[in-house]
Structures are given as structure tokens and as C-alpha cells.
Amino acid sequence: NAGVTQTPKFRVLKTGQSMTLLCAQDMNHEYMYWYRQDPGMGLRLIHYSVGEGTTAKGEVPDGYNVSRLKKQNFLLGLESAAPSQTSVYFCASSYSGTSNQPQHFGDGTRLSIL
Amino acid sequence: AQKVTQAQTEISVVEKEDVTLDCVYETRDTTYYLFWYKQPPSGELVFLIRRNSFDEQNEISGRYSWNFQKSTSSFNFTITASQVVDSAVYFCALSESNTGKLIFGQGTTLQVKP
């Protein structure tokens, strides 16, 4: 019962470093999403993908890039990390983009930028 | 613009008390879905319920119940006879009709004391 798997679970970076967060799902879902969770702000959508090879911007895309080269994987990249990107990052997937589909979430990646 | 408001930031109750978590939403869509997710202290997001805009029947699942009132744009969540294990952050979310993107409320932290 893997579902949605995020790696790594924790990471500390220095300002200016780069890194990639990996999200993998084994449910053959078309849609995938990256959110960030900050205290008092709920979850906000960074980028999303409606299928292999596609990506689109969400509410807070600046400073992040994404790629969906394979249907099961959705990568989130930080090219030059900034302290404002300290957050908990959640990946989610859903079978389709119709609004009745619940999104299945990974366990999150806690990222600290020093 | 679409928006979800959870006005209660934190609620503290004593075990066995009933507690209601409020959720108010704004949307221009005529068809939409509302969700509740639970985030226990371990950090993962757990899907609780989905409700579509055409179904205003209340729903009950064990100690959980949901009251959807389209006239007041509210989708409130009640826990009956609360237990310590109910302690968590609860998020209400609205799904965007074309993409399935979730717009989250700020979350309500529920603490159930023994």
C-alpha cells in the first residue's frame, strides 16, 4: 500500500543551494500536485500536472520548477533555495482532474533553509 | 475568487464533549466539491469526506457528522463525544471545477484533553 511516496522526508539546506524533491505514486493517477504548508496558512498549491509531460503553475510558483517525465513521478526543484522556502511540502495525486476526486497525499517533506 | 475560511484557529475541549468545526466557502462555480482532511500530529493528511454541491443531505459516519448548507455557503464538521485521538489539525477544502485543484482553509487545531 505505497500510495504516494515522498523523498526525502527531511532536509536542511543552505541559502543558495539547489535540490529536488521526488514524489512517486503507484495508483496510475493522471493528476499530481505540489503544495506547501506554512503555519496559519493552510496548504497552498505550487505547481500541478494534468498528465505525463505537462505542468502548470499554481498559487505560489515563484522559485520552484517541476517536471513530469513519467506518469508516476512528479519532481519539485528549488534552483537557489531561500529561507522563505522553509516549509513542509506535500505531494498529492488524483485519478482525474474532475473536482469530485479526493486527492491522496504523501507524508510530506520538511525542508529548512538556513 | 474562490476562498475557504476556517475562522476557528484553535479549539480546546475536554474528552467526551461535542465540538463543531466551522467552514465557510466562496465560489462562482455552480458545481463544486467540498472536502475535509485531518492532519494528526504525525503530519500526514487523511481524507475524511467529500460532498458535492447538489447534495445537501447531512452525512454521519460514526462520531463524525457533516452539515452542508448551500444557502449560507457553509460545510461544518461535528465530532460527537470527542476523544483524545481526535486531536489534530482539520482542513476544509474546496475543489476547483476544471482542474481539481484544492483551495484549503487555514485549518483548525483541535485539542482534546483527557
Q: What is the pLDDT of residue A99?
A: 59
Q: Give the rounded percent of residues in chain A with a pLDDT score beyond 70.
A: 96
Helix (H, G, I), strand (E, B) or coil at B27: coil
Give contacts of A36 with chain B, Cβ < 8 Å: none
Strand partners, A104: A93
Question: Is residue B51 pLDDT above 80, yes or no?
Answer: yes
Q: What is the pLDDT of residue B20?
A: 97
Q: What is the pLDDT of residue B32?
A: 87
Region A52-59: mean pLDDT is: 94
Please tell me if residue B24 touches chain A, with a CB cutoff of 8 Å: no
Helix (H, G, I), strand (E, B) or coil at A90: strand
Cell of B35: 472536502
Interchain proximity B101–A45, CB inside 8 Å: yes
Gap from A37 CA to chain B (nearest CA, Å):
10
B100 closest CB neighbour out of A40, A94, A108 = A94
Question: Is residue B58 pLDDT above 90, yes or no?
Answer: no
- pLDDT tens digits, A81-105: 999 999 999 999 988 766 567 789 9
Helix (H, G, I), strand (E, B) or coil at B54: coil
Gap from B38 CA to chain A (nearest CA, Å):
11
Q: What is the pLDDT of residue B53?
A: 86
Interchain proximity A41–B106, CB inside 8 Å: yes
- pLDDT tens digits, B16-25: 999 999 999 9
Average pLDDT over chain A, rounded to an integer: 93
Evaluate whether B102 touches B80 at the Cβ level (below 8 Å).
no
- pLDDT tens digits, B77-99: 999 999 999 999 999 999 877 77
Cell of B72: 449560507
B107 closest CB neighbour out of A42, A101, A105 = A42
Please tell me if residue B20 touches chain A, with a CB cutoff of 8 Å: no
Assign 3-class secondary structure to chain B.
Answer: CCEEECCCCEEEEECCCCEEECCEEECCCCCCEEEEEEECCCCCCEEEEEEECCCCCCEEECCEEEEEEHHHCEEEEEECCCCHHHCEEEEEEEECCCCCCEEECCCEEEEEEC
Gap from B22 CA to chain A (nearest CA, Å):
15
Out of B14-18, B29-33, B96-100, the most confident range is B14-18
